[in-house]
Amino acid sequence: MPPTASGPKKSEMPNLPFWVTLPVIFIVSFVLGEHYGFPWWLRLLAVVAVSLLLEAVNQGVRRVIRRTRADGGMA
């Protein structure tokens, strides 16, 4: 029986945890500021870009896994 729209799906993939995103953002900000001398506004733009990149990778991986599960595994 397929899951209903009102209830959460059991097979839905979880999102990338915040505890993974936060250290990556701090590391990017630190490296760009300390090693490359980026001003604060350029570091902020880099943090936004890295956040968007992590979310895009997360969604891409979730789509591939969902498609693989829908096809019945690796063919």
Is residue 61 in some structural domain?
Answer: yes
- Which residues, at least 6 apart from 29, have a Cβ–Cβ distance to it below 8 Å? 43, 46, 47
Q: Which residue would you say has higher pLDDT here, 7 or 65?
A: 65
Is residue 52 in some structural domain?
Answer: yes
Report phi then psi at 13, rounded to 5.
Answer: -75, 140
37 and 23 in contact (C-beta within 8 Å)? no
Is residue 13 in some structural domain?
Answer: no
pLDDT digit string (tens) for 41-73?
999 999 999 999 999 999 998 999 888 888 876
Domain extent, residue 58, equals: 40-70
pLDDT value of position 19: 85
Is residue 11 in some structural domain?
Answer: no
pLDDT digit string (tens) for 11-34?
566 777 778 889 999 999 999 999
Tally of domains in the chain: 1
pLDDT value of position 12: 64
Is residue 10 in some structural domain?
Answer: no
Is residue 62 in some structural domain?
Answer: yes
Is residue 53 in some structural domain?
Answer: yes
pTM (2 decimals)? 0.70
